[in-house]
């Protein structure tokens, strides 16, 4: 069992203000695999004061020099890649091979990319008689989720450090152990004291203390928030996968199911609404059912496993409740259901589920489920498909499939969402990630993510 009894504050591992702890569970076995400190507002205050004291000195270091630190962090993550991927597989349930590629590979790429990205930022430019300069925001509070725990940390911490900000991080209490490994690497590379601080604990206590602290200049939050200052929010999604009549239908449907079920559906940008021509609904159901039934849940450490457990008992019950709600509202259950997968009664497992004949007003069409549940909605015209895609409080992601890529792009431009995959276009960790409407505010990743941590100043000459 991994016992973490210290917080990382001001360049040292320090005792928390109290001895209360939080258990971390293995999502496959439901056994306790570790404990972390349950931090307090006093711990947060100590960390923020350290970050404030370190800010001026860190901001004076050149951006390329700061990026050298993030490159060394990337190297350290690479050395411990196997260890971290196995740890996250236990915390979150991501199949271990996928965990290495996504849960650790993406954070490595994000930290490493800062060396190139800082050269893309116009740190100074002349506009008329003004010199416009870009400076770091200040002290950043980063509050991160459990579904892609280290990736979401990297998406905030890497650009914040490269921008010249100092950071206080609160990782998710559900999957926090990987963050402690990151803090160890920060210490090993000699990051100046106070530049990065880690305070674990609950949202109502530690998260609230960070968002309300007067010395925090910016909060970068993934989840949902209450904060009266500059914020960057990456929130929920209910993304539409629009399959046009001329698309490669078999590939579009099967890839769409796979992208819906990625990380057991615990992905904010998951393509959870599949829109298909009404006259091909039966065909879509057959392909989706076949793909879903091939996605057999299992132990994340088994190489054959494509879908692991959900992260917690609470999440399992939430997803099962939505499946039952879909049945009660009259959606057609194509495959899956509320019962646990055969032989997997222990662990936080859910059957991969596909609904069809879903109406726009159903809860499973409108609300984020965060599990392996797909809703197939039929449409009659292209305009109706776009209308259905936009009929959501969210706007984080989406997809369009067509034999004519230019046609797909024209449709994608009409969808009110932060990113759209065209014919299965792959995720780009350097492209801006963020949403419209209630899917958030601001952008993460690449130079767009770094610019979120900068203020703009005009010097009139």
CA separation for the pair 298, 296 (Å, rounded):
6
The pLDDT of residue 304 is 87
Closest CA to 445 of 232, 258, 264: 232
Helix axes 63-79, 177-188, angle to 10 degrees: 120
Residue 235 has pLDDT above 80, yes or no: no
* Whether 357 is catalytic: no
Residue 230's pLDDT band, with cuts at 50, 70 and 90, is low
For 401-443, what is each residue's pLDDT tens digit? 999 999 999 999 999 999 999 999 999 999 999 999 998 888 9
Residue 228 has pLDDT above 70, yes or no: no
Residue 226's pLDDT band, with cuts at 50, 70 and 90, is very low
CA separation for the pair 445, 99 (Å, rounded):
19
The pLDDT of residue 303 is 87
Residue 225 has pLDDT above 50, yes or no: no
* Whether 165 is catalytic: no
For 167-202, what is each residue's pLDDT tens digit? 999 999 999 999 999 999 999 999 999 999 999 999
> Encoding tokens for residue 271?
């393509």
Residue 398's pLDDT band, with cuts at 50, 70 and 90, is very high
Q: Regarding predicted confidence, which is higher, 234 or 155?
A: 155
The pLDDT of residue 231 is 73
For 238-252, what is each residue's pLDDT tens digit? 999 999 999 999 999
Residue 45's pLDDT band, with cuts at 50, 70 and 90, is very high
What is the average pLDDT across 126-145? 96
For 53-84, what is each residue's pLDDT tens digit? 999 999 999 999 999 999 999 999 999 999 99
| Domains by residue range for the chain, with CATH | 2-235+439-460 (3.40.605.10), 240-428 (3.40.309.10)
Residue 259 has pLDDT above 60, yes or no: yes
CA separation for the pair 316, 396 (Å, rounded):
23
Say which of 205, 268, 285, 452 is annotated catalytic. Answer: 268
What is the percentage of the chain residues whose pLDDT exceeds 90?
95
CA separation for the pair 26, 297 (Å, rounded):
16
Say which of 234, 285, 368, 444 is annotated catalytic. Answer: 234
Q: Which long-range contacts (CB under 8 A, 24 or more apart) does 12-18 make?
A: 12/193, 13/187, 14/46, 16/40, 16/43, 17/42, 17/43
In this prediction the pTM is 0.94
What is the average pLDDT across 256-283? 97
For 86-113, what is each residue's pLDDT tens digit? 999 999 999 999 999 999 999 999 999 9
CB 401 within 8 A of CB 243: yes
């Amino acid at each position: 069992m991994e016992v973490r009894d210290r917080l990382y504050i001001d360049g040292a591992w320090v005792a928390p203000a109290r001895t209360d702890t939080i258990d971390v569970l293995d999502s496959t076995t439901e056994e306790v695999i570790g404990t972390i400190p349950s931090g307090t507002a006093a711990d947060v205050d100590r960390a923020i004061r350290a970050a404030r004291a370190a800010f001026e000195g860190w901001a004076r270091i050149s951006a390329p020099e700061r990026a050298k630190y993030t490159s060394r962090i990337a190297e350290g993550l690479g050395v411990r890649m196997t260890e971290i991927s196995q740890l996250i597989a236990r915390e979150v349930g991501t199949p271990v091979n996928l965990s290495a590629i996504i849960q650790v590979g993406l954070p490595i790429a994000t930290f490493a990319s800062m060396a190139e990205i800082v050269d893309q930022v116009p740190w100074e430019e002349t506009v008329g008689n003004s010199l416009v300069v870009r400076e770091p925001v200040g002290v950043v509070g980063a509050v991160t989720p459990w579904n892609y725990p280290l990736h979401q940390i990297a998406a905030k911490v890497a650009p914040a450090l490269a921008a010249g900000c100092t950071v206080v991080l609160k990782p998710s209490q559900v999957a926090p152990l990987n963050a402690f490994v990151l803090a160890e690497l920060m210490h090993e590379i000699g990051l100046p004291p106070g530049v990065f601080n880690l305070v674990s604990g609950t949202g109502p206590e530690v998260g609230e203390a960070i968002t309300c602290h007067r010395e925090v200049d910016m909060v970068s939050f993934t989840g949902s928030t209450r904060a009266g200052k500059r914020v960057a929010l990456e929130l929920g999604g209910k993304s539409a996968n629009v399959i046009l009549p001329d698309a490669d239908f078999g590939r579009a449907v099967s890839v769409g199911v796979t992208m819906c079920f990625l990380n057991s559906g615990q992905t904010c940008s998951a393509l959870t609404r599949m829109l298909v021509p009404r006259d091909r609904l039966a065909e879509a159901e057959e392909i989706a059912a076949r793909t879903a039934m091939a996605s057999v849940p299992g132990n994340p450490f088994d190489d054959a496993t494509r879908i692991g457990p959900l992260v917690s008992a609470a999440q399992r019950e939430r997803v099962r409740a939505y499946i039952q709600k879909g049945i009660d509202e009259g959606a057609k259950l194509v495959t899956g259901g509320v019962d646990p997968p055969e032989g997997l009664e222990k662990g936080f497992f859910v059957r991969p589920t596909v609904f069809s004949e879903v109406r726009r007003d159903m809860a499973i069409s409108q609300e984020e489920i965060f599990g392996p549940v797909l809703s197939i909605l039929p449409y009659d015209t292209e305009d109706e498909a776009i209308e259905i895609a936009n009929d959501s409080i969210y706007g984080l992601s989406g997809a369009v499939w067509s034999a004519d890529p230019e046609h797909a792009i024209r449709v994608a431009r009409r969808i009110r969402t932060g990113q759209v995959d065209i014919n299965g276009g792959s995720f780009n960790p350097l492209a801006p990630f963020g949403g419209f409407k209630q899917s958030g505010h601001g952008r993460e990743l690449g130079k767009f993510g770094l610019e979120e941590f900068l203020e703009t100043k005009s010097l009139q000459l």
